[in-house]
């Protein structure tokens, strides 16, 4: 099954996608994580991506589509994937359809996470992520802090704050999301694959588990 997590930055789509990927036994593909890895390795792609990411802007479509196309050609993607942070533009959505069509596949379920702005901003400004790529656990230092400050509960690695998680970039990231989201939502609604998911209490400890359960139910019905 090909699942696309839609939602503003900080809506919990990354956390949800990770749990969902484990539950559904599908690879979790996050374009943001892929870019951050390239930045860390200081590659040409990383340098280019960083010029956009540091300003809260989108990396150009052709660059982003290329890395996703390559990732989707891997053997582990043949039965489906959980896409997180891609597509972000209509161009990307159409390119994804073409890539999948070539393999006789299509997008099956698009959950859209709906979370109020104040919760989003609060989450982003209190977000810490495990520096171990294999783990990548996400914490909220206010609502869901690690047991030991700065250390991941799961693997013991140091927690880091994303350089783009600050008040300057969050405003432009939310603006960019809103500008493009409408087109994406209309596009997937027309295809009958969009499901709006509103956590009852987005600040609750088990908010992401509830969201995952709802998505798994939808996936079962769509099989
Ligand atoms: P994320 O981790 O999904 O919040 O992504 C972090 C940043 O990476 C975004 O603010 C963009 O600058 C860039 N990025 C991630 N995914 C995409 C995409 N699909 N298209 C363009 N830029 C992206």
pLDDT digits (tens, 9 = 90+) for 74-92: 999 999 999 999 999 999 9
| pLDDT tens digits, one per residue of 24-61 | 999 999 999 999 999 999 999 999 999 999 998 999 99
In terms of phi and psi (left: phi > 0; alpha: psi -120 to 50; beta: otherwise), the region of 97 is alpha
Residue numbers in the chain where pLDDT is lower than 50: none
Query: How far does the centroid of ligand 1 lie from the alpha carbon of residue 221, in Å?
Result: 30
* Bridge partners, residue 83, by sequence: 4, 29
Q: Which atom, in ligand 1's list, is nearest to the CA of 68?
A: 19
- 70-75 LR contacts (CB < 8 Å, sep 24+): 71/29, 71/34, 72/29, 72/99, 72/100, 72/103, 74/27
Q: How far is residue 49's CA from residue 153's CA, in Å, rounded to a whole number?
A: 30
Q: Which of 36, 88, 123, 144 is flagged as catalytic?
A: 88
Query: What pLDDT is stored for residue 209 in this prediction?
Result: 85
Q: What is the pLDDT of residue 205?
A: 67
Token reading at 209: 């588990």
Within 85-209, strands assigned E span 110-113, 127-130, 138-140, 159-160, 194-197
Here the tokens at position 101 are 């069509």
Asked whether the CA dihedral 207, 23, 89, 55 is positive or negative, the reply is positive
Residues 6+ apart with CB under 8 A from 222: 1, 108, 109
Give the pLDDT confidence score for residue 143 in this predicted structure: 82
CA 196 / ligand 1 centre spacing (Å): 21
Architecture of domain 2-115+178-222: 3-Layer(aba) Sandwich (3.40)
127 as an active site residue: the answer is yes
Ligand 1 centre and the CA of 104: distance in Å? 27
pLDDT of residue 207: 76
pLDDT at residue 86 in the model: 98
Q: Whose CA is nearest to atom 5 of ligand 1?
A: 32
Q: Can you give the residue ranges of every domain in the chain? A: 2-115+178-222
Q: Is 222 labeled as catalytic in the residue annotation?
A: no
Active site residue 173: yes
How much distance in Å is there from the Cα of 36 to the middle of ligand 1? Answer: 9
Question: Which residues lie with the beta carbon below 6 Å from any ligand 1 atom?
Answer: 9, 31-32, 35, 52-53, 56-59, 64, 85-88, 92, 164, 173
């Amino acid at each position: 099954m090909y699942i696309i997590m839609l939602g503003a930055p900080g809506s919990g789509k990354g956390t949800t996608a990770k749990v969902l990927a484990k539950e559904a036994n599908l690879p979790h593909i996050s374009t943001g994580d892929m870019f951050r890895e390239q930045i860390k390795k200081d590659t040409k792609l990383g340098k280019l991506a960083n010029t956009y990411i540091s300003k809260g802007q989108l990396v150009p479509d052709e660059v982003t589509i290329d890395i996703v196309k390559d990732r989707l050609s891997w053997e582990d993607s043949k039965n489906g994937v959980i896409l997180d942070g891609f597509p972000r533009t209509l161009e990307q959505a159409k390119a994804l359809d073409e890539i999948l069509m070539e393999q006789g596949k299509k997008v099956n379920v698009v959950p859209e996470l709906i979370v109020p702005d104040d919760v989003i901003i609060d989450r982003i400004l209190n977000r810490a992520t495990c520096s171990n790529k294999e783990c990548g656990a996400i914490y909220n230092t206010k609502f869901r802090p690690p047991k030991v400050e700065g250390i991941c509960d799961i693997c013991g690695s140091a927690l880091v704050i994303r350089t783009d998680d600050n008040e300057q970039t969050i405003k432009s990231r939310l603006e960019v999301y809103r500008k493009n989201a409408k087109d994406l939502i209309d596009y997937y609604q027309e295809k009958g694959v969009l499901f709006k998911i509103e956590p009852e209490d987005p600040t609750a400890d088990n908010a992401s588990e509830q969201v995952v359960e709802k998505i798994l139910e939808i996936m079962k019905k769509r099989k």
